[in-house]
Chains A and B, each alone.
Chain A
């Protein structure tokens, strides 16, 4: 088995960690610090203490899910470095994380903001340009992460062929 076939465990771990990091960023920055929205503010307005608490409960379940995705990523990363002969490429690993973050923004944005309308990025505006910016950020992150992983694969191929590659590969 050569190095090329061993990228998959590192990519998978990075993508899962990226999903988790994307979820935590959303929850921490938008739900808690800026308080632009909470998990169910599209259905349950934060107009009473009880409704704020109800939203906090669903935020908690959302964070439990992102915690689980992060745990899966950590387990996959541990397995990747202990059970597989993985080429530990920084570009590939961080590219995979960025890719996972982008997938989170795109999937969560499409389902929660547009299809189910559980909440919107800025709840007081309803569906707004910020919901589309959120989707666009997902597409951009996916593109950047995808490119980083592909470039790392090319660098690895050059290394295998005996050519010098940048130290960051």
Chain B
């Protein structure tokens, strides 16, 4: 662990009780679901950007 001094230190790599709780909170059973949920908007945002720019960037018909 990177940080081991100070019992109040809490971070994903802290060797403290709080650090352990943080790791449990992040990498618990819900980690995969939380990751999917947090990243869910990203592909939709990228797709929207491509569709909108394609549509708006199309040459006007004479």
A residues within 8 Å of B by Cβ? 2, 4-5, 7-9, 11-12, 15-16, 19, 39-40, 43-44, 48-54, 57-58, 61-62, 65, 69, 72, 96, 99-100, 103-104, 107-108, 111-112, 116, 118, 146, 149-150, 153, 157
Q: Say which size band chain B's interface belongs to.
A: 20 to 34
Which A residue sits closest to B48, measured CB to CB?
Answer: A103
C-alpha gap A117/B59 in the complex (Å):
40
**Residues of the A chain whose Cβ atoms lie less than 8 Å from the Cβ of B52:** 11, 15, 99, 103
- B56 and A149 within 8 A (CB): yes
Is B29 interfacial (CB 8 A cutoff)? no
Show 7 A/B contacts (Cβ-Cβ < 8 Å), sorted by A.
A7-B57, A12-B54, A40-B38, A57-B26, A65-B42, A107-B48, A118-B37
**Residues of the A chain whose Cβ atoms lie less than 8 Å from the Cβ of B59:** 2, 4-5
- A19 and B60 within 8 A (CB): no
Query: Binding site of B, secondary structure by majority: helix, strand, loop or mixed?
Result: helix
B residues within 8 Å of A by Cβ? 8, 10-12, 18, 21-22, 24-26, 30, 34-35, 37-42, 44-46, 48-50, 52-54, 56-60
